[in-house]
Amino acid sequence: MKPESLLTCPVCGYAQMLKMPTDACQWYYSCPGCKTLLKPKPGDCCVFCSYGSVPCPPMQEARSREGQEKQ
């Protein structure tokens, strides 16, 4: 499981490597570059799943379980 994700603002392109919470989804993020309040896209659980290089730990775990069940 990867604990960090590169979160990139879709408005200004500001990118920052952030440590993700391991036990919850992060619903909001205020971009330090342009101050836009980012919210998850429809169907995503958090800002990391919408704008990050790596999905949040709960989703990483869920995808890992799905992969194991298919084997």
pLDDT at res. 70: 67
Beta-carbon contacts of 38 under 8 Å, excluding residues fewer than 6 positions away, are 9, 10, 28, 29, 30, 31, 47, 50, 51
Regions of the chain where pLDDT drops below 70: 70-71
Q: Is the pTM of this model over 0.95?
A: no
The strand pair at 15-19 and 4-8 is best described as antiparallel
Q: In this structure, are residues 28 and 37 in contact, taking their beta carbons and an 8 Å threshold?
A: yes
- In whole angstroms, what separates CA 42 from the centre of its chain? 13
